[in-house]
Amino acid sequence: MKRVLLALLVLSLVSNVDGQLIRGIVLDEQTGLPVDYASVFFNGTFVGTTTDETGGFELDVSKYHTRSLYISAVGYYPQVITEFNPAEMHRVLLKPRVFEIEEVSVISKSLVRKRKACMRIFEREFIGNTSNAFRCHIMNEEALTFNYDSDKDTLRAYAKRPLRIQNLSLGYNITYYLERFEYDRNNKTVVYTGSIIFNRDLVTDESSLNRYERRREYAYTGSSKHFFRTLWFNSLQSSGFVVKNYRTSDKLKYEDIVSEDILGRKFLQYPEDLEINNFGNLSYITFLKEKLYFEQDGFFDPTGIIWSGTMAKQRIADFLPYEYSLGE
């Protein structure tokens, strides 16, 4: 009986959030002055807004009320809102950013060559090197600064402004707020973090839709988004996914790797590394947390696992918004 009452309470709370706006004001932490034109958005979606001249914003959170809301602005560290109260005016304080990399004036021929070499590495590791990457371009490369010679083993990049990216292969204009980029030249490994907002779908007519849709479907098939969506509905086998214990190669069922709490939230959970096979394309999951939260649209907590294999090779050029539906 208690479980039923709790479930009814949860449904009531969800219905109260649906269709409601959250309001807030974004201020400079040090001066208390409003921060205008700050971006307020749900990571990986089309849902977002910007603050006005008073630092104020309002946004409908009904579709993504279980997600964190990102607030980013030029010259500040990003901030995140994890809990929404429609009756509250959310007060967000942004901390001015300290630039880790000194601005270097690229004038000499040697520095020009070094910058081009750094940019090639950045584009390969950040944009990717799949077929979609060839038509995915950073429109404001001048926003990027590299560490050049300060550390020969590790390439670091910093963006003083959000990166504007046009993906002419999948048909999206996006903005990426880069927080960290480090490429280890010795081990050939990369770590980058940030958040992304989809600004525009470039589909203008049925012919362009058909062209983009073929590429979008190809990028989606076998991706992490595809995996978690089919995992949610317990349809891995029909989608061509086979999950195994990486160490023993034992085939695992849905019940072996998915747990669900009383609120209906689902978690990927297993005591060892996992191997994911999708028609011969192998990917591997190493857990950083005991259990990994994921949602119906393919969203998952990126801080809870480390990818390797095929899925780890998919970068910004292959990223689709959470609004994407197969066969649109």
Q: Name the CA radius of gyration of the chain, rounded.
A: 21
Instruction: Check residue 100 and give its pLDDT.
Output: 58
Dihedral pair phi/psi, residue 131, rounded to 5°: -60, -30
Instruction: Check residue 111 and give its pLDDT.
Output: 79
Instruction: Check residue 1 and give its pLDDT.
Output: 42
> 3-state SS of 191-247?
EEEEEEEEEEECCCCHHHHHHHHHHHHHHHCCCHHHHHHHHHCCCCHHHCEEEEECC
SS3 1: coil
SS3 70: strand
CB 44 within 8 A of CB 175: no
Rounded alpha-carbon distances, angstroms, from residue 213 to 131, 159, 299, 320, 326: 15, 31, 21, 11, 8
Rounded alpha-carbon distances, angstroms, from residue 254 to 230, 234, 246, 257: 10, 6, 16, 6
Dist CA 202 CA 198 (whole Å): 11
Query: What does pLDDT average to in each consecutive run of 10 residues of the chain (328 residues)?
Result: 41 48 95 95 96 96 91 92 88 85 57 88 95 96 84 86 96 95 91 94 89 94 97 95 97 97 95 97 96 96 92 94 82
Q: Both tokens of residue 260?
A: 């669900």
Name the CATH code of domain 2-94 (choices 2.60.40.1120, 3.60.9.10, 3.30.40.230, 3.40.50.2000): 2.60.40.1120
User: What number of CA atoms fall less than 13 Å from residue 71's CA on the CB side?
Assistant: 27
Q: Both tokens of residue 75?
A: 């010259």
Angle, vertex CA 35, rays to CA 33 and CA 37, nearest 5: 155
Instruction: Check residue 148 and give its pLDDT.
Output: 74
β-pairing, 163-167 with 305-309? unpaired
Contacts of 161 (CB under 8 A, 6+ apart): 74, 140, 143
Residue carrying structure tokens 């780890």: 312
Dist CA 297 CA 300 (whole Å): 9
Instruction: Check residue 150 and give its pLDDT.
Output: 62
* H-type alpha helices, the chain: 2-17, 109-122, 206-220, 224-232, 254-257
Dist CA 275 CA 273 (whole Å): 7
